[in-house]
Amino acid sequence: MTKTTHPLLKVLMYLLLIVGSVFMVFPFIWMLSTSLKTVGAISQMPPQLIPNPMNWDNYVTIWNKIDFGRYTMNSFFIVSIEMVGSLVSSAFVAFGLAMFTFRLRGLIYMIMLATLMIPSQVTMIPTYFIWKEFGALNSYYPLIVPSFLGGAFGIFLMHQFIKSLPKELYESATIDGCSPPGIFFKIYLPLCKPALAALGVFTFMGAWNNTLGPLIYLQDKELYTLPLGLLYLKSENVNQALLMAGAVITTLPVVMVYLFAQKQFVQGIASTGMKG
């Protein structure tokens, strides 16, 4: 941007950025470091940054104590289904809003914007009651079914995107004898990839980091997600090294996904501001 930044100013900027980075990254370093400590080294003062000796056994112990393998699978299972559901259904509804004129269109659009303002704690208790009546407590249904019905934020994002695509696409497909659902699945859905990637990032983060939902709906330990597994581990009063090993196991998968899809994450977040 500015080419005339004073060298001293630049040094100051690097300094600030590095201090900030330490604040952001140090907890991860400390998590990793503590997770490799022996019981004696945990409370040793001054604390060791690089543990000596490295106690890798903590991971073995924790893996045997808490079924983290299963919880990882559970988390990935829920998150993948939620992602498929929310991406397809949001695009589906958005397509309807963007492509057809019908009487209640304006009303539905308005309600969609209004739902963005209703906080979840207001709807939480009745929603819990609904799932209880369906006999679906202690199952994944309360977590995954709603994602197949389209979310306001996702519909909004997809609607903006579909509206920006050329209208002729739809008309020429109709002439070729395609039905509206065919047009949606064969032509529009594949074209929505950039917007779907952005929405996918949000759905992923929301689903992976969701604690309240699993906390109130899941009781059986076999059904736990990773964050719930860690919460359970914490309630077991294990030593800090084991707890941090659990935290590393919980954090690692999502960080890996982030590293692979960094571009989508950043673009996804940036695109939220582009609305309106």
Window 121-140: residues binding another protein (CB under 8 A): 121-130, 132
Query: Does residue 113 bind another protein (CB under 8 A)?
Result: no
Smallest gap from Cβ 7 to another protein, in A, equals 12
Residue tagged 């497909």 (tokens): 173
Query: Does residue 214 bind another protein (CB under 8 A)?
Result: no
Smallest gap from Cβ 121 to another protein, in A, equals 4
- The torsion angles phi and psi of 176, rounded to 5 degrees, stand at -75, 0
222 to 261: interface string for another protein, x by CB under 8 A: ----xx--xx--xx----x--xx-xxx-xx--xx-xxx--
Stretch that binds another protein, among 11-19, 58-66, 76-84, 192-200 (CB under 8 A): 11-19
Residues 32 to 51: which contact another protein by CB under 8 A?
34, 42-43, 45-47
Stretch that binds another protein, among 9-17, 52-60, 76-84, 191-199 (CB under 8 A): 9-17
Sign of torsion over alpha carbons 254, 260, 261, 266 = positive
Q: Which two structure tokens, joined as six digits, stand for 237?
A: 């009063």
Q: Given candidates 36, 78, 93, 192, which one binds another protein under the rule CB under 8 A?
A: 93
Give Cβ neighbours of residue 51 (< 8 Å, ≥ 6 apart): 33, 36, 37, 38, 41
The rounded distance, in Å, linking the Cα atoms of 150 and 197 is 16
CB 33 within 8 A of CB 50: yes
The rounded distance, in Å, linking the Cα atoms of 258 and 38 is 30
Which CB atom, from 64 or from 120, has the smaller least distance to another protein? Answer: 120
Smallest gap from Cβ 147 to another protein, in A, equals 10
Burial of 250-275, coded b for 16+ CB within 10 Å and e otherwise, reads beeebeebeeebeebbeebeebeeee
Residues 162 to 191: which contact another protein by CB under 8 A?
170, 180, 184
Which CB atom, from 45 or from 50, has the smaller least distance to another protein? Answer: 45
Q: Which two structure tokens, joined as six digits, stand for 240?
A: 């800090």
CB burial of residue 43 (10 Å; 0-12, 13-18, 19+): exposed
Q: Given candidates 146, 160, 187, 191, which one binds another protein under the rule CB under 8 A?
A: 146
Query: Does residue 55 bind another protein (CB under 8 A)?
Result: no
Smallest gap from Cβ 53 to another protein, in A, equals 19
